[in-house]
Amino acid sequence: MAVQESRNASAEEVLKAALDLFSRQGYGATTMRQIAEKAGTSLGNVYHHFKNKEEIFATLLDRYFQVLLDPKLRLNQVFSRAAFPDDLEEMATAIEEVVDRFGREIMLIYIDVIEFSGKHVRWFYETMAERFHRIYDAPLKERKERGELGEVDPVFAVMLSVRWFFYFFTVEKYFGVPMHFGMDPQQAVHEFIKVLRCGLLPRGRPCPPAREPAKEGKATKGGRARS
Amino acid sequence: MAVQESRNASAEEVLKAALDLFSRQGYGATTMRQIAEKAGTSLGNVYHHFKNKEEIFATLLDRYFQVLLDPKLRLNQVFSRAAFPDDLEEMATAIEEVVDRFGREIMLIYIDVIEFSGKHVRWFYETMAERFHRIYDAPLKERKERGELGEVDPVFAVMLSVRWFFYFFTVEKYFGVPMHFGMDPQQAVHEFIKVLRCGLLPRGRPCPPAREPAKEGKATKGGRARS
DNA sequence: CCCTCCCAACCGAACGTCCGTTCTGTACTA
DNA sequence: TAGTACAGAACGGACGTTCGGTTGGGAGGG
């Protein structure tokens, strides 16, 4: 943690360049000279703003997690409404937005897992379950008592949905494998939501139709073509 | 592709050492000298067996995909029986076995995505949907016509399950974040299967009880503690 | 108003080490 | 005698980091 907020412009350029390079080639394969050049500054100046390479990497990850935990993030507003599973379509859209905006930061997570044994990101995932329980435990218990939910653990289903949407959009957009389920993203999201709400086995009552996607629909925009 | 099958013992040592090092530090951060030393041989001899560093990396990934597509692999026997979704417990066990045995190779996939833009692994994921359709289309269509399945796309559900189990066990065992869902692995697997079979919303008929896990049950063994 | 001083911002050469790869040579087996 | 397995020095370059030095704009005294 220990995130410096707004340094000057050239330090920001360094961070931007480093994010691009790290996310495309990994940490060990990215050099300080590449970062300096891409940032349009000198090697010496990079070291003036950051004490070493790892500090740059850690700062980038810290900032991303700060955004991820920011209540102003649309995804967190979806969470705080706790309207699961009625708002699954909005949740998917909000997560797609995060992956679109922060795809490169998400790559840093995988890099940290590999090259740092996850030391900068582990705390985030270790505390994940607790965060979801804090938000969803009470409202979903209430809905369950009203008979609006079946017999499965609803907070587990929230975490499953969130992790699956993140995984799916990340692979689609940043792993370079679009349509890896053999269908459009919006169709895959739609199918996933249907499975989640209704399950595979036949039901006595019919499966309710999908809700209209919230505001501006997404799940269509192409991701970056890597290389 | 172009996989050399059985070179001599020292080439195998090189591959083993490289797998360990690549999976723990990434490709760019691993040096040929580290590989040679860990393999107990000389730098010159490494270059006698492999023309360069990338050939070692590609060989490791090729071998893994060869195993993944081998009909003798227990997971593939589960697939070929096409008993989905009755055999979800066996599928989970078989995937856990793959992740236990080939966790480091799975890390190579993430490394390839980052450091090579996925160039060695893309073909595998691009052809994934087709492979599942070839196996599951006919049997699941038949089951659906017999009224044994609900209204969701069953082949999608197969792919969802497989990808989910791989993702889940990989994060548990190799991302260094055990219990990231706040529960035991076997409990998380159990909950996932329940969601998949029965969905979240209340049902007319009750959700069928879980099947006994096939042979020797797993979902408990600890993974490697990554430093 | 000017002059001085200060210090953050910035630069690039230099340091010692290590990189991927090549090359030459030796030991051993067939 | 040929050829494979192996060893390690050598090469040219790049690595992360340090360091001495140059800017340029604002504070403060006269």
The protein footprint on chain D, as nucleotides within 7 A of a CB, is: 5-10, 14-21
* Distance, Å, A50 CA → C2 C1': 37
3-state secondary structure of B102: helix
Question: Could you tell me the pTM of the whole model?
Answer: 0.91
Strand boundaries in chain A, DSSP class E: none
Say what percent of chain A tops pLDDT 90.
84
CB A99 within 8 A of CB A106: yes
Chain B closest-CA separation from residue A8 CA (Å): 30
CB B32 within 8 A of CB B52: no
CA-nearest of B152, B135, B190 to B168 is B190
At B212 the pLDDT is 63
Q: Which residues of B touch A202 (CB under 8 A)?
A: 147-150, 205
CB A108 within 8 A of CB A23: yes
CA-nearest of B53, B61, B63 to B28 is B53
Q: For residues A118 and B20, give the distance between their C-alpha atoms in angstroms, rounded to a whole number.
A: 16
CA-nearest residue to A209 within chain B is: B151
Question: In which band, very low, low, confident or very high, does the pLDDT at A206 lie, cut at 50, 70 and 90?
Answer: confident
Question: In which band, very low, low, confident or very high, does the pLDDT at A201 lie, cut at 50, 70 and 90?
Answer: very high
Q: Which residues of B touch A136 (CB under 8 A)?
A: none
Output the CATH code of domain A9-51. Answer: 1.10.10.60
The protein footprint on chain C, as nucleotides within 7 A of a CB, is: 9-14, 18-25
| Residue of higher predicted confidence among B204 and A201 | A201
Lowest-confidence region among A93-97, A205-209, B33-37: A205-209
Structural domain boundaries of chain A? 9-51, 57-198
> Rounded to the nearest 10 degrees, what angle do helices B74-81 and B88-115 cross at?
120
Dihedral (C-alpha) B135, B139, B143, B145: value to the nearest 10 degrees?
110
Cis peptide bond N-terminal to B208, omega within 30: no
Tell me the pLDDT tens digit for each residue of B17-76: 999 999 999 999 999 999 999 999 999 999 999 999 999 999 999 999 999 999 999 999
Residues, CB < 7 Å to strand C: A 7-11, 41-45, 47-49; B 30-34, 43-44, 47, 51-54
Q: For residues B92 and B81, give the distance between their C-alpha atoms in angstroms, rounded to a whole number.
A: 15
Nucleotide whose C1' lies closest to the alpha carbon of residue A45: C10
Chain B closest-CA separation from residue A122 CA (Å): 6
> Rounded to the nearest 10 degrees, what angle do helices A88-115 and A53-68 cross at?
160
Q: Which residues of A touch B156 (CB under 8 A)?
A: 181, 183, 188, 191-192, 195
CB A189 within 8 A of CB A168: yes
